Structure 1
């Protein structure tokens, strides 16, 4: 049984992960939080202690770490005797942290695909550009590496696998829908790292349709959905991580991702983009200083973790799956509802961070117990979905299924 967790990152998701690991430290053992800004790690540790989140008496410590430094990361894994590393830092550090895990034998979990800071929207499938190239190395080293174990990617992958395995004889399409119907009360802010958030929407929109990659522009294709709890919601076709693994691992001809946006967000985003302020390429000011416009925008926007105290409302994220069962057309929506205020009261973070962080801890617990300790690299849909979804239901993210007028918890 693997024990002792090293959490890399110190943002809102890391705070959720630390609290949830603490709530389950009888299974996960010692907890260590590391990032370049050690003071943020100490604040997370203090939050866990203040809320008395530790289930049993145990270790929780903060560390300074540049996760781009493989040698330093290896050394910290060794000093902490961490057997599971949960990487919720910037996607820019994924491959460095993965390398450290392969070389030390620690299990690896992340919640988003690796990105090169100088490249946006690389060729599909995205995982093939970086992570999947290390799959054989993981297998040779006997290292478990679970990719994209947040909510989307992550839980929605498990929803897709569950639908394919248990609810359909043939799946024709999967539409992943992500709507945040909450309000943070600020003029403009992003729910997670602004740099990563904006990069997600400035490139091509790549989706899997009729067994091939289709390309659109951002905000080009709109679809309104009538969703549980949050009601009628406008969404836009968006490129996203999970499409790139699901298109390979599941025999489904059409897989798309839809994200909810309000008119205000779209207007501000459009102005910033048209002014060149979302560029990741450095420019020189009139004074000769070199700056990256996107990083300047990030610096002036609110820290996403600061939104949590005032956030109200709910999120709805799920998979609308269509296909055939017993010779008849079938349609189901597998989903979760999360509440921003409840998330803040429990762990001090808003609901977006909560939905990303809780699944990573569930994955860690399944590795610790051996159920997901597969000793190779895997995306979530390659693993048994039931243990994951059942565990999520117990630790804060229950699943529901709507079919026609029937809406009930996952049995």
Structure 2
């Protein structure tokens, strides 16, 4: 068993993860939260105490850390005796934190692909540009490293694996659909770090079509989906992290990511982009100051965590999988519904952070008890999805399935057994 968790980052996802670690600290042990700004870490601890979310005795401690400093990160891992590191800060930190874990023996988890601040939308597959280059090092050191274990990427990867293994003989397509049907009281805001959010959309949109990469423009392809609870919503084909590992690991010829956007978001985004304000490249002002336009926009927009108190409505995120079973067309939707107000009542956060934070903690718990402590680098779809889905059902993110049999809560173990038995029965009749 592995114990004691170091959370790197103090944003919205780290906030949720810290609350959930505290709720499960009997298994996870001490909790340490580290960021460049120690006051933000302490504010999370104060929130845990205010919500009375610490389940059992144990330490919850704030630390100041520049996680780009590998030696400082290694020292903090040693000093706190942390055996699991949740990297929930900026994706610019991934390679530094991963290296610190390789050198100290701590398990590593993150929720997004590493990014180079000077590059946007590099050539796919993105993981091959960074994390996958450390596969051998993780294997040689016996280090468990689980990549992209938020919701998307993360849970949607597990949904894809579960669907392929459970419901189909052949799979033609996986459409990942992310709808935020919530609303807040700000003129314009992003639901997570504005810099990271905008970088996803300012260049090439990559999709996996006919077993090859296809380059698209942002907002070029629009599609409306009729989703549970939130209804029919417009979405746009978008490039996203999970496509870059699922395309390599699931042997599915078409994998696409669709994100919901309202007209207001698109209008503001378009103006900012056309003015050059979303550029990641530095410019010099008339006064001689060097600034990065994207960082300026980030500085003037609301902190995503500040949206939580006034956020209402729900999110719906899932995988619509199409293929064949017993020679007949089959369509299955695996999805989750999350409520902004309920998330805020429990942990003081909005649903976007809630859906990203819980999977990371569930993965940490599966490493702690050994189920996912695989001692090498893996993406989520390479791991058994059943314990992951079952655990999330218990700690706050319930998975549902909609197919020809109706709409129901997914019990991953029972459903797999029932379908396997039904298949055996059908085969015996033949």
TM normalised by structure 1 equals 1.00
| 1:135 counterpart residue number | 135
- Paired with 2:49 and 2:226, the residues of 1 have a C-alpha distance of 41
* 1:151 CA displacement: 0.2
| 1:281 counterpart residue number | 281
- Paired with 2:210 and 2:16, the residues of 1 have a C-alpha distance of 38
Matches within 5 A, 1:12-411: 12-404=12-404, 406-411=406-411
Q: Describe the superposition over 1:201-257 as per-residue Cα deviations: whole angstroms up to 9, x where unpaired.
A: 001000000000001100000000000000000000000000000000011000000
Q: Which runs of 5+ in 1 are unaligned?
A: none
SS, match of residue 42 in structure 1: helix
SS, match of residue 242 in structure 2: helix
* 1:57 CA displacement: 1.1
Q: Which runs of 5+ in 2 are unaligned?
A: 412-430
SS, match of residue 95 in structure 1: helix
* 1:403 CA displacement: 1.0
SS, match of residue 112 in structure 2: coil
Q: Describe the superposition over 1:336-395 as per-residue Cα deviations: whole angstroms up to 9, x where unpaired.
A: 000000000000110000000000000000000000000000000000000000000000
Superposition RMSD in Å: 0.5
Q: Describe the superposition over 1:383-410 as per-residue Cα deviations: whole angstroms up to 9, x where unpaired.
A: 0000000000000001000114711110
The answer on 1:5 being equivalent to 2:26 is no
- Paired with 2:382 and 2:310, the residues of 1 have a C-alpha distance of 38
SS, match of residue 233 in structure 2: strand
* 1:52 CA displacement: 1.3
- Paired with 1:355 and 1:37, the residues of 2 have a C-alpha distance of 24
- Paired with 1:84 and 1:57, the residues of 2 have a C-alpha distance of 19
- Paired with 1:295 and 1:60, the residues of 2 have a C-alpha distance of 32
- Paired with 2:58 and 2:309, the residues of 1 have a C-alpha distance of 28
* 1:49 CA displacement: 1.2
- Paired with 1:68 and 1:55, the residues of 2 have a C-alpha distance of 32
Q: Describe the superposition over 1:254-301 as per-residue Cα deviations: whole angstroms up to 9, x where unpaired.
A: 000000000000000000000000000000000000000000000000
- Paired with 2:385 and 2:17, the residues of 1 have a C-alpha distance of 20
Number of residues of Structure 1 aligned to a counterpart in Structure 2: 411
- Paired with 1:70 and 1:194, the residues of 2 have a C-alpha distance of 26
TM normalised by structure 2 equals 0.95
* 1:196 CA displacement: 0.2
